[in-house]
Amino acid sequence: MTRIGWIRHGVTQWNVEGRAQGSTDIPLNEEGLRQAEVLAERLSKEEWHHIYSSDLQRALVTAETVAERLGGGVAVKQDERLREMGGGLLEGTTEAERILKWGADWRETDWQGESHESVVDRGTEVLREIALNHPGQNVLIVSHGALIGRCLKELVPDAYKNEPLQNTSISTIYANAAGGWSCEKFNCALHLSDVVDEVEAK
Protein backbone atom coordinates (compact mmCIF):
# COMPACT_ATOMS: atom_id res chain seq x y z
CA MET A 1 0.00 0.00 0.00
CA THR A 2 1.08 3.58 -0.67
CA ARG A 3 0.92 5.86 2.36
CA ILE A 4 0.06 9.50 1.62
CA GLY A 5 0.61 12.31 4.10
CA TRP A 6 -1.47 15.23 2.86
CA ILE A 7 -0.37 18.56 4.37
CA ARG A 8 -1.93 22.01 4.27
CA HIS A 9 0.62 24.81 3.87
CA GLY A 10 1.72 27.15 6.68
CA VAL A 11 -0.27 30.25 7.55
CA THR A 12 -0.15 33.46 5.46
CA GLN A 13 -1.18 37.03 6.20
CA TRP A 14 -4.27 36.55 4.05
CA ASN A 15 -5.22 33.57 6.24
CA VAL A 16 -4.92 35.83 9.28
CA GLU A 17 -7.06 38.52 7.61
CA GLY A 18 -9.67 36.02 6.43
CA ARG A 19 -9.06 36.74 2.74
CA ALA A 20 -9.81 34.16 0.07
CA GLN A 21 -6.52 33.11 -1.54
CA GLY A 22 -7.34 30.65 -4.30
CA SER A 23 -4.66 30.69 -6.99
CA THR A 24 -3.20 34.04 -5.84
CA ASP A 25 0.43 33.43 -4.93
CA ILE A 26 0.68 34.62 -1.30
CA PRO A 27 3.85 33.96 0.77
CA LEU A 28 4.01 32.48 4.24
CA ASN A 29 4.14 35.03 7.04
CA GLU A 30 6.56 34.77 9.96
CA GLU A 31 4.27 32.42 11.86
CA GLY A 32 3.82 30.27 8.76
CA LEU A 33 7.59 29.91 8.35
CA ARG A 34 7.84 28.85 11.99
CA GLN A 35 5.01 26.35 11.53
CA ALA A 36 6.85 24.84 8.56
CA GLU A 37 10.00 24.44 10.67
CA VAL A 38 8.10 22.70 13.48
CA LEU A 39 6.33 20.45 10.98
CA ALA A 40 9.69 19.58 9.42
CA GLU A 41 11.07 18.64 12.83
CA ARG A 42 8.11 16.33 13.42
CA LEU A 43 8.40 14.65 10.01
CA SER A 44 12.18 14.26 10.26
CA LYS A 45 11.55 11.56 12.87
CA GLU A 46 9.49 9.55 10.36
CA GLU A 47 10.26 7.79 7.08
CA TRP A 48 9.15 9.62 3.93
CA HIS A 49 10.42 8.78 0.45
CA HIS A 50 8.97 11.51 -1.79
CA ILE A 51 7.47 15.00 -1.56
CA TYR A 52 5.04 16.59 -4.01
CA SER A 53 3.79 20.17 -3.78
CA SER A 54 1.58 22.78 -5.33
CA ASP A 55 3.70 25.31 -7.21
CA LEU A 56 2.22 28.22 -5.21
CA GLN A 57 4.88 29.56 -2.86
CA ARG A 58 2.97 29.12 0.39
CA ALA A 59 2.85 25.37 -0.26
CA LEU A 60 6.22 25.11 -2.01
CA VAL A 61 8.16 26.84 0.80
CA THR A 62 6.44 24.59 3.34
CA ALA A 63 7.43 21.53 1.29
CA GLU A 64 11.01 22.70 0.76
CA THR A 65 11.41 23.31 4.50
CA VAL A 66 10.33 19.74 5.19
CA ALA A 67 12.55 18.33 2.42
CA GLU A 68 15.60 20.09 3.82
CA ARG A 69 15.09 18.45 7.20
CA LEU A 70 14.44 15.00 5.74
CA GLY A 71 17.73 15.02 3.86
CA GLY A 72 18.73 11.97 1.88
CA GLY A 73 18.25 13.72 -1.43
CA VAL A 74 14.47 13.99 -1.17
CA ALA A 75 13.57 16.63 -3.76
CA VAL A 76 10.24 18.46 -4.02
CA LYS A 77 8.30 17.69 -7.19
CA GLN A 78 5.91 20.50 -8.20
CA ASP A 79 2.50 19.88 -9.76
CA GLU A 80 0.08 22.66 -10.75
CA ARG A 81 -2.84 20.30 -10.23
CA LEU A 82 -2.21 20.57 -6.48
CA ARG A 83 -3.02 24.30 -6.50
CA GLU A 84 -5.83 25.68 -4.38
CA MET A 85 -9.38 25.79 -5.70
CA GLY A 86 -9.64 28.85 -7.93
CA GLY A 87 -11.54 31.63 -6.14
CA GLY A 88 -12.41 33.82 -9.10
CA LEU A 89 -13.72 37.22 -8.07
CA LEU A 90 -13.52 36.27 -4.38
CA GLU A 91 -9.73 36.15 -4.27
CA GLY A 92 -8.30 38.85 -2.03
CA THR A 93 -11.63 39.64 -0.35
CA THR A 94 -12.89 39.13 3.19
CA GLU A 95 -16.38 37.98 4.18
CA ALA A 96 -17.32 41.56 5.12
CA GLU A 97 -16.11 42.87 1.75
CA ARG A 98 -18.10 40.23 -0.11
CA ILE A 99 -21.28 41.09 1.78
CA LEU A 100 -20.71 44.79 1.06
CA LYS A 101 -20.23 44.13 -2.65
CA TRP A 102 -22.75 41.37 -3.36
CA GLY A 103 -24.98 41.24 -0.28
CA ALA A 104 -25.55 38.53 2.33
CA ASP A 105 -26.38 36.01 -0.41
CA TRP A 106 -23.00 36.45 -2.14
CA ARG A 107 -22.54 32.66 -2.31
CA GLU A 108 -25.44 32.55 -4.78
CA THR A 109 -23.77 34.99 -7.21
CA ASP A 110 -21.58 33.98 -10.12
CA TRP A 111 -18.15 34.71 -8.66
CA GLN A 112 -16.49 32.90 -11.55
CA GLY A 113 -14.61 30.44 -9.38
CA GLU A 114 -13.55 26.88 -10.04
CA SER A 115 -16.24 24.24 -9.66
CA HIS A 116 -16.24 21.56 -6.97
CA GLU A 117 -16.07 18.89 -9.66
CA SER A 118 -13.01 20.46 -11.28
CA VAL A 119 -10.96 20.69 -8.09
CA VAL A 120 -11.87 17.14 -7.02
CA ASP A 121 -11.09 15.73 -10.47
CA ARG A 122 -7.61 17.23 -10.68
CA GLY A 123 -6.79 16.56 -7.03
CA THR A 124 -7.79 12.89 -7.10
CA GLU A 125 -6.14 12.44 -10.50
CA VAL A 126 -2.70 13.46 -9.24
CA LEU A 127 -3.21 11.49 -6.03
CA ARG A 128 -3.93 8.29 -7.94
CA GLU A 129 -0.93 8.88 -10.20
CA ILE A 130 1.35 9.29 -7.19
CA ALA A 131 0.01 6.09 -5.60
CA LEU A 132 0.54 4.22 -8.87
CA ASN A 133 4.10 5.54 -9.30
CA HIS A 134 5.19 4.86 -5.71
CA PRO A 135 3.69 1.54 -4.58
CA GLY A 136 4.53 0.60 -1.02
CA GLN A 137 6.22 3.94 -0.28
CA ASN A 138 5.49 6.93 1.95
CA VAL A 139 4.72 10.15 0.09
CA LEU A 140 4.09 13.66 1.39
CA ILE A 141 1.88 16.06 -0.56
CA VAL A 142 1.78 19.75 0.40
CA SER A 143 -1.27 21.54 -0.90
CA HIS A 144 -4.20 23.74 0.16
CA GLY A 145 -7.22 23.57 2.44
CA ALA A 146 -10.11 23.49 0.00
CA LEU A 147 -8.46 21.05 -2.39
CA ILE A 148 -7.38 18.66 0.36
CA GLY A 149 -10.69 18.82 2.20
CA ARG A 150 -12.84 18.26 -0.87
CA CYS A 151 -10.69 15.39 -2.12
CA LEU A 152 -10.60 13.69 1.29
CA LYS A 153 -14.38 13.95 1.54
CA GLU A 154 -14.62 12.27 -1.85
CA LEU A 155 -12.09 9.50 -1.14
CA VAL A 156 -12.71 8.69 2.55
CA PRO A 157 -16.18 10.06 3.36
CA ASP A 158 -16.58 7.92 6.49
CA ALA A 159 -13.39 9.33 8.03
CA TYR A 160 -13.85 12.92 6.86
CA LYS A 161 -14.78 15.40 9.59
CA ASN A 162 -16.55 18.60 8.68
CA GLU A 163 -13.94 20.92 10.19
CA PRO A 164 -11.43 23.42 8.75
CA LEU A 165 -8.01 21.95 8.09
CA GLN A 166 -5.40 23.64 10.25
CA ASN A 167 -2.30 25.14 8.66
CA THR A 168 0.47 22.47 8.45
CA SER A 169 -1.95 19.78 9.59
CA ILE A 170 -1.36 16.32 8.15
CA SER A 171 -4.01 13.84 7.09
CA THR A 172 -2.69 10.35 6.37
CA ILE A 173 -4.42 8.01 3.96
CA TYR A 174 -3.57 4.65 2.41
CA ALA A 175 -4.16 3.45 -1.14
CA ASN A 176 -4.98 -0.25 -1.30
CA ALA A 177 -4.55 -2.71 -4.15
CA ALA A 178 -8.24 -2.54 -5.04
CA GLY A 179 -8.04 1.18 -5.76
CA GLY A 180 -9.76 2.26 -2.56
CA TRP A 181 -8.56 4.49 0.27
CA SER A 182 -8.51 4.35 4.06
CA CYS A 183 -7.73 7.12 6.53
CA GLU A 184 -5.21 6.74 9.36
CA LYS A 185 -5.40 10.28 10.77
CA PHE A 186 -7.30 13.43 9.86
CA ASN A 187 -6.26 17.07 10.35
CA CYS A 188 -3.53 16.24 12.88
CA ALA A 189 -1.56 19.28 14.04
CA LEU A 190 -0.17 18.25 17.43
CA HIS A 191 3.18 19.78 16.49
CA LEU A 192 1.60 23.26 16.49
CA SER A 193 1.39 23.26 20.27
CA ASP A 194 5.09 24.16 20.22
CA VAL A 195 4.35 27.25 18.13
CA VAL A 196 1.46 28.34 20.39
CA ASP A 197 3.58 27.93 23.52
CA GLU A 198 6.38 30.01 22.01
CA VAL A 199 4.04 32.84 20.92
CA GLU A 200 2.30 32.98 24.30
CA ALA A 201 5.66 33.16 26.07
CA LYS A 202 6.62 36.38 24.28
Least confident segment among 18-27, 30-39, 45-54, 190-199: 190-199
Residues 46-65 pLDDT 10s: 999 999 999 999 999 999 99
Q: What percent of the chain has pLDDT over 70?
A: 96
The reply to whether 22 sits in an annotated binding site is no
Residue 180 identity: G
> Distance between CA atoms of 73 and 54, rounded to whole angstroms?
19
> Distance between CA atoms of 145 and 102, rounded to whole angstroms?
24
The reply to whether 12 sits in an annotated binding site is yes
The reply to whether 111 sits in an annotated binding site is no
46-70 burial string, b = 16+ CB within 10 Å, else e? eebebbbbbebbbbbbbbbbbbebb
For residue 12, CA distances in Å to 58, 76, 134 come to 7, 21, 31
The reply to whether 13 sits in an annotated binding site is yes
Residues 111-128 pLDDT 10s: 999 999 999 999 999 999
Q: Tell me the whole-structure pTM to 2 decimals.
A: 0.93
Domains and CATH numbers, the chain: 2-201 (3.40.50.1240)
> Over 60: is that where the pLDDT of 196 sits?
no
The catalytic residue positions are 9, 84
The reply to whether 34 sits in an annotated binding site is no
For residue 200, CA distances in Å to 16, 39, 141 come to 17, 19, 30
